[in-house]
Structure 1
Amino acid sequence: MLQSPQTENEANWAKSPPSVAAVREQLKRLLAHPLFTNSKRYPVLLAYTVEKTLLGHAHELKERTIGVEAFGREPSYDVNLDPVVRTTAAEVRKRLIQYYYNTDHTGELVIELLVGSYVPIFRDPVILKTALLPEAVNSENSDIASQDSLDSEIVPVKNSHPWTLFAACLLIALLVGFGAGRIRLPGRPTNMERFWEPITATSSRVTYCLGQPVDAVDRNRTTPNGMPLYGSLHVSDVITLARSVVPLVPKNGAFRVVSDSDIGFTQLREGPFVLIGAFDNVWTMRITQDLPFGFEVDSQVRKVVDRKSAQKRFWTLEWQVPYTKLAKDYAIVARIHDNVTGQPVIILAGILGEGTEAASEVVSNPTYLNAMLEKAPKNWTELNLEAVIETNVVDDHAGPPTVLAVETW
């Protein structure tokens, strides 16, 4: 008996579900699209739900869990008073429909977030093209396709460490798309490629080391050995990690994501590493303590200091409303060979999260990176390099970064 093209396609798809790599590649395309790049919340929710599903934890995708782990809400927060998850999911659904309804994306693997669920499904593009109706584009209550005939299949991924692997998978995907458009075909290396070369050229596994914000700890949830379970990250660290993973994508580089308390000196000696965050990351504080620019606390005031200046020039936070509404943050971007560990290191660290995010934009956006390198000598690739970054903060969002000072040695 002959099958219709659609029925045959569905049968073939059921036998060959999309691979994890294919789903992540499609996620990268989505996150690079203007429908998602112009928001912080939309890519966070989309990447978080996709990665949890790929890890085999789709059953954990509940409103409160997403609010706590993806958006940093307190475990006891009122989901009715703060519907951030519901409103963000509704907007993500609309944007996914808009994306796939555009004929430019015909033939791409489909990622959907159906109404009434936070569990994404992955489908054959032909099936969606048949099921997607024009009226669905503006209807939040329209189902994309029939659930009876289009059950999704998920490729499982082993999970060896709850916090680090969750962070790794979320952060690999999250905002990797932000830099996808900057990945070039082989040719003359750009400044971006030259800047990241010590990290990307290695055959060793790269370590991404993040600090642990105090408010990320749920003291009521513990690991079997009684230690607090860390299940939440600052959005600024998520953005920074994802942007710094982008250069590894075309290199197929191996890497791990750890917290500063989960890694020791011996492990840092195994290969290059990237440090994210300052005052909540003990390794950043240790490695920058002898650099020209570093972080210090004076009378409970956190500062970026210039140790080479005669009068010890410094930069500290500026507030519109004291300690409640931030106006300016400062950060350090460093690309050094650490003599203690013997490894190349990149440091992206702000006094607060807004500064860290601004630092990540410098090393992921060619315009800002070139502005920093203009202040460095022509042979900067052969030197250690460190810079101080300033960012204006508007409504808790980091503005474009400005390079204030550069040192090389």
Structure 2
Amino acid sequence: MPQSEKEAGHSLVPDTSAVRDQLKRLLAHPLFANSKRYPVFLAYTVEQTLLGNAGELKERTIGVEAFGREPNYDVNLDPVVRTTAAEVRKRLIQYYYNTDHFGELIVELSVGSYVPLFRDPTVSVNLESGSLVSQRNGATPQDSPITESKSAEAALPPPVLARHRWISIATLLLLALFAGFGMGRIQIPRKPSNLERFWEPVTAASGKVTYCLGQPIDAVDRERTTPNGMPLYGRLDVSDVITLARSIVPLVPKGGDFRVVSDSEIGYTQLREGPVVLIGAFDNVWTMRITQNLPFGFEYDSQVRRLVDRKSPEKRFWTLQWQVPYTKLAKDYAIIARIHDRVTGQPVIIIAGILGEGTEAASEVVFKPAYLDEMLKQAPKNWDQLNLEAVIETNVIEGHAGPPTVLAVETWR
């Protein structure tokens, strides 16, 4: 057999020459070639794994041997290994999402581990029996349909599989919402509704609309979970998916062109091509940049995330309220903004909570006419000719966002 059938987790380890060839392709790609730390980390961990030293790949060892740190350096004060691993993990996911790389040997880095896994994309593992199932040359395993399905899923790296599942969820949500929206628009009023006026910068755009989502990554490189245990690391938060679905609905009747990207996949040049909808706050670098000079914005101080009112003399702020500290959330806060960004020269709509529950509550305001009308009662009549920003509060019940409440609204030219 041309490969050594050594399993690591649920992956098949190909021969070392194939892994080294794939490593060269990865290091030559701009995702890694344009950085100093990322190729060093990837090359070191791959080579050590191939040499049989996977058990030695600990944070301090990598810091000393790969990044030249002193043997007694403080890993808490200098988290270079953790932050680099998080970014390498994200860049590997981005690399394999590109269809140009389908069929290539897969190198992945599991959450909470510094040991890379190698997967031959043409071979999957039967999770029930542990046997290898070849997908080469159209070979069909003699298993039940259920077993075949599990084998096919096993061939995908976990982040890619999770992405596929989120896309399926988002598609179902969009289909349901499109149907509901279409039924509600059988009789189109002559006078545009507040909802139509709010989304007019997006729906009337001639260029492509960009929906930009953050990718949840914990500062200490540990796996985050939703209240019901759903993993978040390196994947989409279900609250962001719901918000995405709701914010695309107004664009559908106009047949507008749009794209959905993560914050790490888009640059300043792309943001200047058309309207932008930013979803999420602390996990979305573009939300943090664009809101830094707005009346309401987000700050991170002494490990406390908060929403601040920069116009108030005392600089009032809102922080998360917990029923059980850092375990059971009681209240979250969010920003809704509809502005013309002077830097990009494009209209920008921001729907962002401190956490996902706040983002989801804010999306209800810009999706349901009753909530939006209530918010606009605090704005002048010509609000659609101004920049507008609002603060939203929501009670969180058993991990789910409750009805949104508008706390403050600001407008300016």
TM-score with structure 1 length normalisation?
0.56
Over 3 Å counting, the alpha-carbon distance change for 1:205 and 1:370 in structure 2 is same
Residue 180 of structure 2 corresponds to residue 181 of structure 1: yes
Structure number with bigger Rg:
2
Instruction: Find the partner of 1:304 among 307, 315, 318.
Output: 307
Alpha carbons 1:302, 1:351 under 8 Å: kept: yes
CA-CA distance at 1:178 after TM superposition: 3.7
CA-CA distance at 1:179 after TM superposition: 6.3
Could you tell me which amino acid in structure 2 is paired with residue 331 of structure 1?
A
Structure 1 unaligned regions, length at least 5: 1-67, 69-78, 81-114, 120-160, 220-229
Could you tell me which amino acid in structure 1 is paired with residue 401 of structure 2?
A
* Partner Cα distance (2:242, 2:401) in 1: 12
| Partner residue, 2:105 | none
Deviations 1:270-319 (A, max 9, x none): 00010000000000000000000000012111111000000001000000
| Partner residue, 1:362 | 365
Alpha carbons 2:208, 2:274 under 8 Å: kept: yes
What SS does the corresponding residue of 2:406 show, helix, strand or coil? Answer: strand
| Partner residue, 2:193 | 190
What SS does the corresponding residue of 1:258 show, helix, strand or coil? Answer: strand
CA-CA distance at 1:184 after TM superposition: 1.9
What SS does the corresponding residue of 1:309 show, helix, strand or coil? Answer: coil
CA-CA distance at 1:326 after TM superposition: 0.2
What SS does the corresponding residue of 1:348 show, helix, strand or coil? Answer: strand
Structure 2 unaligned regions, length at least 5: 1-110, 112-126, 129-144, 150-159, 223-232
* Partner Cα distance (1:246, 1:176) in 2: 10
* Partner Cα distance (2:382, 2:406) in 1: 19
CA-CA distance at 1:387 after TM superposition: 0.1
* Partner Cα distance (2:162, 2:254) in 1: 25
Could you tell me which amino acid in structure 2 is paired with residue 292 of structure 1?
P
| Partner residue, 1:268 | 271
Could you tell me which amino acid in structure 2 is paired with residue 174 of structure 1?
L
Alpha carbons 2:334, 2:391 under 8 Å: kept: yes
CA-CA distance at 1:116 after TM superposition: 6.2
Could you tell me which amino acid in structure 2 is paired with residue 184 of structure 1?
R
What SS does the corresponding residue of 1:289 show, helix, strand or coil? Answer: helix
Instruction: Find the partner of 1:252 among 243, 255, 258.
Output: 255
Residue 323 of structure 2 corresponds to residue 324 of structure 1: no
Alpha carbons 1:176, 1:242 under 8 Å: kept: no
What SS does the corresponding residue of 1:296 show, helix, strand or coil? Answer: strand
CA-CA distance at 1:231 after TM superposition: 7.0
Please list, as runs of the form range in 1=range in 2, the aligned pairs for 1:277-316 lying within 5 A after superposition. Answer: 277-316=280-319
* Partner Cα distance (2:301, 2:402) in 1: 26
Deviations 1:198-219 (A, max 9, x none): 000011110000001127xx99
What SS does the corresponding residue of 2:330 show, helix, strand or coil? Answer: strand
TM-score with structure 2 length normalisation?
0.55
* Partner Cα distance (1:332, 1:307) in 2: 13
Aligned positions, number = 248
Deviations 1:321-361 (A, max 9, x none): 00100000000000000000000010000000000000100
CA-CA distance at 1:177 after TM superposition: 2.6
Alpha carbons 1:176, 1:245 under 8 Å: kept: no
Residue 170 of structure 2 corresponds to residue 171 of structure 1: yes
Could you tell me which amino acid in structure 2 is paired with residue 281 of structure 1?
N
* Partner Cα distance (2:332, 2:346) in 1: 29
* Partner Cα distance (1:341, 1:364) in 2: 25
Higher relative contact order (CA 8 A, sep 6+): 1
What SS does the corresponding residue of 1:174 show, helix, strand or coil? Answer: helix
Give aligned-pair identity as a percent.
Answer: 73
* Partner Cα distance (2:171, 2:272) in 1: 23
Over 3 Å counting, the alpha-carbon distance change for 1:208 and 1:301 in structure 2 is same
Report runs of 4+ in structure 1 exceeding 4 Å deviation: 115-119, 161-170
What SS does the corresponding residue of 2:292 show, helix, strand or coil? Answer: coil
Over 3 Å counting, the alpha-carbon distance change for 1:168 and 1:340 in structure 2 is farther
| Partner residue, 1:396 | 399
Alpha carbons 2:178, 2:252 under 8 Å: kept: no
Over 3 Å counting, the alpha-carbon distance change for 1:379 and 1:176 in structure 2 is farther
CA-CA distance at 1:165 after TM superposition: 9.4
